[in-house]
């Protein structure tokens, strides 16, 4: 596989088209009120990649943690809207598949692993057991200029999670 094919793996190109979790977002205030009625904390984050103008707005719904664990919460839903290159769009799509249903703690751990891998300039092999489909972004780490593209929705998730937890 050429470097370019490593970068644009089939699964990435497919997700860039399929855009799992991409919706037309309802007004945030409505979503927050609706979530609160159902015991969910809802927050979102809008991120822009100033290099290329790519944008992602990612909305997190946070519910109670497993078995009433009050120290943790669960990522019950993830939706997003955005516009950008295939890497950023596929990354958002794969993020929703990968993180939905995880505890906040597990989601953070996975995010940290993903970020470390992306910033390794190809030195860290992605761990498929941990990352699942997100391991497909291993090729991106050899393209420092594209790391931001892949990270964009994950940075949005990180910010939205903190915001939701503060509610």
The site for another protein (CB under 8 A) is made up of 2-4, 7-8, 13, 17, 51-54, 83-87, 89, 143, 146, 149
Shortest distance, position 4 Cβ to another protein, whole Å: 4
Q: Which residues of 77-94 are buried (b: 16+ CB within 10 A; e: fewer)?
A: bbbbbbebbbbbbbbbbb
**Comparing C-alpha atoms, which of 60, 50, 19, 58 is closest to residue 149?**
50
Distance CA 80, CA 82 (A): 7
Helix (H/G/I), strand (E/B), else coil: 13? helix
Shortest distance, position 123 Cβ to another protein, whole Å: 20
- Cβ distance to another protein smaller for residue 2 or 71: 2
- Cβ distance to another protein smaller for residue 54 or 133: 54
Residue 89 corresponds to which tokens in the numbers above? Answer: 């769009």
Shortest distance, position 98 Cβ to another protein, whole Å: 22
Paired strand residues for 63: 74
Shortest distance, position 126 Cβ to another protein, whole Å: 19
- Cβ distance to another protein smaller for residue 72 or 83: 83
- Cβ distance to another protein smaller for residue 74 or 140: 140
């Amino acid at each position: 596989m050429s470097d370019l094919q490593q970068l644009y793996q089939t699964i990435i190109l497919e997700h860039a088209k399929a855009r799992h979790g991409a919706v037309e977002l309802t007004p945030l205030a409505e979503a927050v009120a609706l979530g609160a009625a159902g015991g969910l904390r809802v927050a979102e984050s809008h991120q822009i990649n100033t290099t290329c103008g790519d944008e992602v707005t990612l909305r997190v719904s946070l519910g109670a943690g497993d078995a009433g664990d009050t120290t943790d919460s669960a990522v019950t839903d993830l939706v997003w809207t955005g516009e950008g290159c295939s890497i950023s769009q596929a990354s958002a799509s794969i993020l929703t598949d990968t993180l939905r249903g995880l505890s906040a703690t597990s989601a953070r751990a996975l995010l940290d692993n993903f970020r470390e891998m992306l910033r390794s300039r190809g030195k860290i092999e992605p761990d498929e057991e941990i990352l699942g489909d997100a391991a497909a972004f291993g090729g991106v780490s050899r393209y420092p200029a594209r790391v931001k593209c892949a990270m964009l929705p994950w940075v949005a998730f990180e910010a939205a999670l903190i915001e939701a937890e503060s509610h």
